[in-house]
Structure 1
Amino acid sequence: MTSPVGTTASSSRARAWLTLLLAGCFEIGYALCVGGSRGFTVLSWSLVAVVFFLLTLFALSMSLRTIDVGIGYAVWAGIGAVGAALLGPLFFDEPLTAAKAFWLAVIIAGVVWLKLADSPKRAGTTQ
């Protein structure tokens, strides 16, 4: 028994968004490793940064097969920026001020709105 076309399309979109989320996590890892590499002068951090870089580009490119480039890239960059900003204080003793936290919340809200904007249009609506 085959699944309806709508179900296949929605599961494909869901996989693309999960892959984009994974790409964002890899981007966080890349950003943190670049920070730890101190300008690519620490070999171990540098090698891990290269691995995360390749993983994030691969996962991003896979997700962009389904998700529009503008939305996918903005979400990916937002995940990476917010994740690195939130984890930077844990790994590198960077300050996280109330002002930074506020603007990170604005980025998160923007990412959520972009995801909602990419939701499939309802049948019967005009463009």
Structure 2
Amino acid sequence: MTQRRDTDSSVGTAKARAWLVLLLAGAFEVGYALSVGGSEGFTHLTWSLVGAAFFLLTLFALSVALRTIDIGIGYAVWAGIGAVGAAILGPVFFDENLSSTQVIWLAVIIAGVVWLKLSDRPTSDA
């Protein structure tokens, strides 16, 4: 019985780590999107190199997270984080606008990402 609890605990810890790595992958994805925007079609070397670094980091972190998280859920969360982060930070770093309608739809994406995370909780067979 004690061994089962240890196994359950280690599975929960692995899941939590995977979700943290997925959040990190999402942050790298935002960095990649903003870097690509700053590179202006890869015509600025520094921004292009930063973009390439973020691209490699986001793919690596995503692949690590997807060892534990289902690919459909993990990819959707990763893409949602990237999309929302780039949309919110685009106006901060570039001459972009964010309308109230866009904010509402970004909130819908955020709600979807949260619900996907909540749906990943293990169900009890008892």
Shared fold per TM-score greater than 0.5 = yes
* Unaligned stretches of 5+ residues in structure 1: none
Q: Structure 2 counterpart of 1:10, which letter?
A: G
Give the match for residue 80 of structure 1.
82
Give the match for residue 100 of structure 1.
102
Q: Match for 1:115 among 109, 114, 117?
A: 117
Give the match for residue 47 of structure 2.
45
TM-score, length-normalised on structure 2? 0.95
CA distance in 2, matches of 1:22, 1:100: 24
C-alpha deviations, 1:20-65, integer Å up to 9, x for none? Answer: 0000000000000000000000100000000000000000000000
C-alpha deviations, 1:76-119, integer Å up to 9, x for none? Answer: 00000000000000000210100000000000000001111111
Deviation at 1:75, TM superposition (A): 0.1
2:24 corresponds to 1:18:
no
Deviation at 1:8, TM superposition (A): 0.3
Deviation at 1:123, TM superposition (A): 3.3
CA distance in 2, matches of 1:121, 1:63: 20
TM-score, length-normalised on structure 1? 0.94
Q: Structure 2 counterpart of 1:36, which letter?
A: G
CA distance in 1, matches of 2:103, 2:40: 25
Instruction: Show structure 1 runs of 4+ deviating over 6 A.
Output: none
Could you say what secondary structure the match of 1:96 adopts? coil
